[in-house]
Structure 1
Amino acid sequence: MTGAVIVVGSANQDYVINCDALPRPGETRLGGRLRRFPGGKGVNQAVAAARLGADVHFVGAVGDDPDGALLIGELRSEGVDAGDVEITTAERTGVAFVSVLPDGENAITVVSGANFTLAAGRVSRTVRRLADASSVVVLQGEIPVPALQAAVEASTEAGARTVLNLAPFVELPAAVLRPAAPLIVNEVEASALLGAPVTAQESAEQAARTLAGRAGSAVITLGGAGAVWADRTGSGTVRAPEVRQVVDTTGAGDAFVGGLATMLAEGRDLETAVRFAVEVGTVAVTRVGAQASYPSRADVAGAPGA
């Protein structure tokens, strides 16, 4: 039976600037084209999963402003249930300023705004109402730590599967990491968690096994090299397909998480979920933008059920 994907996370309006290089301290540089996209890691992951056919609910907060209204409208247009998005007058909707370099790499500055009004009590009540043993609850590091902790506790109590994408990295108690199945990090975040550099596939494989001992399972994403995974049954590496040109890596990690959550909600094992997620992320980097780059099920090579 396919369960719901419940994303508790951030909602931002992304302002994307194409530039030749990032400015050094004290330097002013002229940028290229400026575009606006709906974003935030939470919204991105929710949309990515919905595009792939998942039944998605989004829990978050936006400001009482045009950006917030646009984000809610975009969620609904993608088929995401946005009934649990709080509209607050205390803060403006979160924004992210994304600089995209010619090779597709990016640098991002986030102003959290309304995302940091997300209260632990409301999150706990909402997750308890929505989740059951067939659900997958997806979390990231762009919401307040108390809200994140409350979501993990409520997910665990409901018997749901918790997917924790610890991006950006924040310090969390061991008890919050333990239910994550999987804990998803990139090399930088894995290095912060372990207190040692994770810079190559070999060190990532060992790091994933170590992190799987702290959580239910672990996945470390390696960008264009793919991802490594580990759980109680074993571990492995999934290499990313080669692409002719990387256009924009913005939101590719969120596409990966959305793809993985979709597979887990369908009852697939972790290795299958990671293989599918790598394919989803690979498609995303060949297109411009975050959500604008996310594929449908039919766009993903070898997709189960496509």
Structure 2
Amino acid sequence: MAKPVVVFGSFVVDLMARADHLPVPGETVKSDLFKMGPGGKGFNQAVAAKRAGAEVEMVTKLGKDSFANVCLEMMEGEGMDRSHVFVTDKASTGAALIMVDEHTSQNQILVTLGACSTFDDADIAQVTPLIEGAGILLTQLETNVDAVEKVIDIAHRSGTTVVLNTAPVQPITDEMLRQVDVITPNEVEASILTGVEIKTPDDALKAAQVFLDKGVGQVVITLGKQGVLAVTPQRHQLFGNYDVPVLDTTGAGDAFNGGFVAALAEGKDLFAACAFGNAVSNLAVTKMGTSVAMPHRAEVDAFIAANGLMG
């Protein structure tokens, strides 16, 4: 029986508006559509993994406010265990301000982490047995990084596979990188963390080698319109995008990560898991929103049956 995927990460409420174009500094732009809903990189990835078929345990932290209910109600509706959701009165539930260009589907995001920046040792002690018993730990950099370092260390020492999505990008130590089994940056994050300017898949391959040299086990770099590059010390493969109608790219990376770890949890290797995650991501961008846009397994299977797998 497959062990669960533990997602240690953020929840924020997404406040999304779409407009004719994104504002430049000092400009006010009239929006044609506003929506509020559940989000946060950790939460989005957990929902994506759950809908893709994984057994998921979500660890996040909320404030004592009305925004917290957005998380709890979504988890209940998705059939997700809420016993590892912490609540604090020291900070509010996180929020993200998202602006989307309705013509290009490009976005700009400003996130306030709130409660998710307050994980402490007591919280981590409570979830240590959960992490130790997991098959995969998926985490990001959208909580306080000292907590991320500690849960990665627990997972690494326990033999739990560590998948690190380096968003939003910030400095991380080489010591932590040596404990990461799979790192999943996008091209901007990979450029910042390795010093390699990425414009092409060949550039991404050079950046991936920097990660491997630092001790990361395997590397997956998402390249937006250019697809996804998967790299091991022995092999690399580029997975192109499907020809789908793109509506909203906001949760694309999260959809990929969720689908990717769901496939890993089923026993697929890195490359097969990337192909599956790529299909999940391409489906997600055809819908509006983040968590709510994540496709269910039946949708993914039907999409793959109709279109095959890239790569």
- Measured in 2, the distance between the counterparts of 1:49 and 1:263 equals 9
Q: Deviations over 1:169-198 (max 9, x none)?
A: 111111111122210101100110111211
State the alpha-carbon separation in 1 of the partners of residues 134 and 93 from structure 2. 32
Q: Please state how far the C-alpha of 1:121 moved relative to its aligned partner.
A: 4.4
1:43–1:75 contact (8 Å) kept in structure 2: no
Contact kept? 2:20, 2:31, Cα under 8 Å: yes
List gaps (5 residues or longer) in structure 1: none
Amino acid corresponding to residue 304 of structure 2 in structure 1: G
Which residues of structure 2 form unaligned runs of 5+? Answer: none
Alignment match, 2:73: 73
Distance in 2, matches of 1:121 and 1:217, equals 31
Quote the offset at 1:9 in angstroms: 0.4
Query: In 2, Cα distance between the equivalents of 1:120 and 1:257?
Result: 27
Which amino acid counterpart does residue 273 of structure 1 have in structure 2?
A
Do structure 1's residue 226 and structure 2's residue 219 form an aligned pair? no
The aligned amino acid for 2:282 is: T
> In the comparison of the two structures, how many residue pairs are matched?
302
Supply the AA of the counterpart residue of 1:21: H
1:24-63 alignment runs, 5 A limit:
24-63=24-63
Alignment of 1:252-263 (within 5 A): 252-263=252-263
Q: Could you say which residue in structure 2 is the equivalent of 1:180?
A: 180
Residues 167, 189 of structure 1: 8 Å contact kept: yes
* Counterpart secondary structure, 1:80: coil
CA distance, structure 2, for counterparts of residue 297 and residue 179 of structure 1: 31
Matched, 1:131 2:110: no
Tell me the SS of whatever aligns to 1:180: coil
Q: Give the alignment's TM-score, normalised by structure 2.
A: 0.93
Distance, in Å, in 1 between the alignment partners of 2:188 and 2:304 is 30
Change (3 A) 1:126 1:160: farther
Q: How far, CA to CA, are the matches of 1:120 and 1:171 in structure 2?
A: 21
SS of the residue corresponding to residue 272 of structure 1 reads helix
Encode CA deviations 1:37-80: one digit per residue, 9 max, x unaligned: 10000110110001011111111110111110220221222122
Query: Which position in structure 2 is the counterpart of 1:104?
Result: 105
Please say if residues 205 and 236 of structure 1, whose CA atoms lie closer than 8 Å, have aligned partners that are also in contact.
no
* Alpha-carbon contact 2:37-2:70 (below 8 Å) kept: no
Paired with 2:232 and 2:63, the residues of 1 have a C-alpha distance of 39
Q: Is the 8 A contact 2:220 2:229 kept in 1?
A: yes
1:7 is aligned to: 7
CA contact (8 A) 1:4 1:134 kept: yes
Counterpart AA for 1:206: K
Q: Find the residue that maps to 1:197 and give its secondary structure.
A: coil
In the alignment, what sits opposite 2:304?
302
Separation (CA, whole Å) in 1 of partners of 2:298 and 2:179: 32
Q: 1:242: which partner in 2?
A: 243
The residue that corresponds to 1:165 in the other structure is 165
Find runs of 4+ consecutive structure 1 residues off by over 4 angstroms. none
Residues 19-54 of structure 1, C-alpha deviations (whole Å, 9 max, x = no match): 112222222221121101100001101100010111
Q: Which amino acid aligns with 2:230?
A: W
SS at match of 1:62: strand
Which secondary structure state, in structure 2, belongs to the residue aligned with residue 143 of structure 1?
Answer: coil
Q: Is the 8 A contact 2:86 2:123 kept in 1?
A: no
| 2:185 counterpart SS class | strand
